[in-house]
């Protein structure tokens, strides 16, 4: 049922039930049942015989932006990084072979950016995507290569699995990825990995002119320091959650052994 959402894209924001059925290969009965249930729950809206993504998704997005505890803590680190560098700072997330911007802190420069919060980024272009790919486990990298070998070759990341793997190892050892004019002609991205779940990256975005005048080593250093702060926040939260679960487990043991 959740795959119905994949039928909607910026190019096809409104679809008929028949178009959804054709795109996803569902039977008529299955397609109509899924659409009906999603529409009833507010995940789809109906306009002039076509369906669009519904208000429930907007509501959930608001909850994420305003109340997600992990994002709120990470946002504080990103704001500090933005103030130090005066550039735009992005948090990206990787899932199902997609890289999406989860948070975006605006810097002092009015940068033109094609990929803001919520828009899927190219998987093989841009510093944010490349550092995530570099830090994936090799088995996952193999799956990505098997599914996208032609795109990887077209992006100049290797004509074989061995070339692709070697390039990712180099990026991983560096601990940062840099992309110049790959997503937008006048921008430079500097990205470092963060241990979020799903995997992610912090991306600093500069104008090309400003990046040319910056201390490149210093930029990477403070980006890595910010990523380490994010990792510490996540680890601390995981430890706190584990402590609570341990306490709950002890309480359940007491209850189970009470007469």
At residue 104's C-alpha, the angle toward residues 65 and 94, to 5°, is 85
pLDDT of residue 67: 75
Distance of alpha carbon 188 from alpha carbon 204, whole angstroms: 8
- Rounded mean pLDDT, 176-180: 96
DSSP assignment of 158-220:
-SSHHHHHHHHHHHHHHT-EEEESSSSTTEEEEEEEE--SS-EEEEEEEEHHHHHHS-HHHHH
Task: Walk me through the domains of the chain, giving residue ranges and CATH numbers.
Answer: 2-58 (1.10.10.10), 68-135+172-239 (3.30.450.40)
- Contact partners, residue 13, CB within 8 Å, separation at least 6: 52, 53
Which range (34-38, 61-65, 147-151, 186-190) has the least confidence? 61-65
Distance of alpha carbon 200 from alpha carbon 66, whole angstroms: 20
Q: Are 14 and 52 in contact (CB under 8 A)?
A: yes
Distance of alpha carbon 17 from alpha carbon 50, whole angstroms: 7
pTM of the model: 0.78
Tell me the pLDDT of the chain averaged across its residues. 89
- Rounded mean pLDDT, 241-256: 51
Share of the chain above pLDDT 70, in %: 93
Nearest to 198 by CA among 98, 109, 111: 98
Q: What is the pLDDT of residues 23-39, one digit of tens each?
A: 999 999 999 999 999 99
pLDDT of residue 235: 84
Q: Are 107 and 88 in contact (CB under 8 A)?
A: yes
pLDDT at 158 over 90: yes
């Amino acid at each position: 049922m959740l795959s119905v959402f994949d039928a909607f894209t910026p190019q096809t924001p409104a679809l008929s039930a028949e178009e959804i059925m054709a795109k996803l290969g569902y039977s008529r009965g299955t397609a109509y049942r899924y659409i009906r249930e999603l529409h009833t729950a507010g995940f789809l809206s109906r306009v002039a015989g076509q369906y669009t993504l519904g208000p429930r998704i907007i509501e959930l997005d608001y909850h994420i932006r305003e109340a997600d505890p992990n994002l709120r803590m990470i946002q504080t680190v990103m704001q500090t990084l933005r103030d130090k560098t005066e550039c735009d700072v992005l948090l990206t997330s990787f899932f199902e072979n997609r890289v999406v911007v989860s948070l975006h802190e605006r810097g002092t420069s009015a940068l033109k950016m094609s990929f803001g919060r919520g828009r899927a980024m190219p998987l093989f272009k841009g510093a944010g995507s490349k550092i995530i790919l570099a830090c994936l486990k090799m088995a996952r990298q193999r799956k990505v290569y098997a599914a996208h070998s032609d795109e990887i070759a077209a992006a100049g990341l290797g004509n074989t699995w061995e070339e692709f793997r070697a390039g990712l190892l180099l990026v991983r050892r560096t601990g940062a990825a840099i992309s110049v004019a790959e997503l937008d002609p006048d921008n430079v991205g500097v990205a470092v990995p963060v241990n979020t779940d799903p995997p992610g990256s912090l991306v600093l975005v500069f104008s090309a002119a400003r990046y040319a005048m910056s201390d490149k080593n210093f930029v990477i250093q403070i980006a890595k320091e910010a990523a380490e702060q994010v990792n510490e926040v996540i680890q601390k939260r995981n430890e706190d959650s584990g402590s609570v679960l341990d306490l709950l487990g002890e309480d359940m043991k007491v209850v189970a052994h009470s007469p």
